[in-house]
Structure 1
Amino acid sequence: MAQRWNHNIHYHSMVLSAVPPDARNALDVGCGEGMLARALREKVPNVVGVDLDQASIDLAKKHDDGISYVVADALTYDFQMSFDFIASVAALHHVDAAAALARFDSLLRPGGTMVIVGLARPTMRDVPYELAGAVAARMHRRTKGYWEHPSPTCWPPPETYSSMRRLASTLLPGVRYRRHILSRYSLTWVKPD
């Protein structure tokens, strides 16, 4: 698995670097076949992976990794706990972003950290990023190959990069928004105590 590469896996190390050292419980929303959840489990004792796709969860459960995998809608499922860390990579555009951010906020413990890597719909102002990203992706594919994940996809994303930035800033005061070169953005937020 260390050899796998795609646009989402590229940002896993960024997500993992944000895990607080004292985190005890983590949630991976849209976990797919569990690659990020398994990496989180190396840092956090209790990890829950949630995804709506039964086939993806079936693949995840084939690993003996001590992770609780759930086929459910993260926006409505009763997790019966809160989390020190919430990660979501390439899943937010599958659902209503405002509802998801509010839900993640409610699931995150005060002082907890949330990292979202998402896709957004480009506009004309994003053309330079998109062109640079296409070149960078091509270089990565030549040197690393490309792993096509088995999970369902959703295109086009409903939110643009600008609207996602505004929405996150409104719902998560103090959020750090970053636009990334490989057609992704990230949101990093520490919930106030």
Structure 2
Amino acid sequence: MSNRWNHNIHYHPMVLSAVPAGARTALDVGCGEGMLARLLRKKVPDVVGVDLDQPSIDLATQFDDDISYVVADVLTYDFPTSFDFIASVATLHHMDAAAGLTRLKALLSPGGTMVIVGLAKSQVRDLPYEVAGVVANQVHRLRKGYWEHPSPICWPPPETYTSMRRLATTLLPGVRFRHHIFWRYSLTWAKPE
């Protein structure tokens, strides 16, 4: 599994580097077959993976780990606790972005950190990122191959990069928005104590 690569996996190290020291609980939203959840478990004692897709959770539970996997809608599921760290990779565009950000904000413990890696629609202003993504994609695929994940795909994303930045800035004051290659953006936000 360590040799798997795709556009989402490419950003796992960035997500993992944001886990706050001393984090005791983590939530992987849209965990799929659990790859990121298992990496989080190496840093955080109590990890929950949530996904709507039963076949993906079935794959996740085949691994011998002590992660709690839940087949549920993160927007409505009654989690028994809040979380010190929340990660979401390529999931937010599967739901209403405002509802998703609001819900994740509510699930985050005071002082906790949230990292979202998402997909958005490109506009003309995003052309340099598009070109860089095409070139980098070819190089990475030649060197690493490409693993196609088994989870459901939602395309095209409903939000643009511009609208996601605006929405995140409104709902998460102080959020750090970054536009990346491989057709992704990231939101990193620490909830005030």
Instruction: Give, in angstroms, the shift of residue 160 of structure 1.
Output: 0.1
> CA RMSD, aligned part only?
0.4
Paired residue type of 2:188: T
Give the SS at the match of 1:178.
strand
Residue 114 of structure 1 aligns with which residue?
Answer: 114
- Mark the runs of 5 or more structure 1 residues left unpaired by the alignment: none
Instruction: Give, in angstroms, the shift of residue 135 of structure 1.
Output: 0.6
Q: What is the rounded CA distance, in whole Å, between the counterparts of 2:144 and 2:107 in structure 1?
A: 36
Give the SS at the match of 1:93.
helix
The answer on 1:99 being equivalent to 2:92 is no
Q: What is the rounded CA distance, in whole Å, between the counterparts of 2:41 and 2:21 in structure 1?
A: 13
The answer on 1:174 being equivalent to 2:177 is no
Q: What is the rounded CA distance, in whole Å, between the counterparts of 2:20 and 2:7 in structure 1?
A: 24
Instruction: Give, in angstroms, the shift of residue 21 of structure 1.
Output: 1.3
Q: What is the rounded CA distance, in whole Å, between the counterparts of 2:6 and 2:66 in structure 1?
A: 25
Instruction: Give, in angstroms, the shift of residue 30 of structure 1.
Output: 0.2
The answer on 1:46 being equivalent to 2:11 is no
Instruction: Give, in angstroms, the shift of residue 80 of structure 1.
Output: 1.0
Q: What is the rounded CA distance, in whole Å, between the counterparts of 2:111 and 2:75 in structure 1?
A: 21
TM superposition outliers: structure 1 runs of 4+ over 4 Å: none
The alignment's TM-score, normalised by the length of structure 2, stands at 0.99
Give the SS at the match of 1:101.
helix
Instruction: Give, in angstroms, the shift of residue 105 of structure 1.
Output: 0.6
Q: What is the rounded CA distance, in whole Å, between the counterparts of 1:23 and 1:191 in structure 2?
A: 13
Identity of aligned residues (%): 76
Q: Deviations over 1:83-141 (max 9, x none)?
A: 00000000000000000000001000010000000000011111111111011011000
Paired residue type of 1:4: R
Q: What is the rounded CA distance, in whole Å, between the counterparts of 2:68 and 2:91 in structure 1?
A: 19
The alignment's TM-score, normalised by the length of structure 1, stands at 0.99
Give the SS at the match of 1:127.
helix
Residue 124 of structure 2 aligns with which residue?
Answer: 124
Q: What is the rounded CA distance, in whole Å, between the counterparts of 2:84 and 2:132 in structure 1?
A: 35
Q: What is the rounded CA distance, in whole Å, between the counterparts of 1:190 and 1:15 in structure 2?
A: 13
Instruction: Give, in angstroms, the shift of residue 181 of structure 1.
Output: 1.2
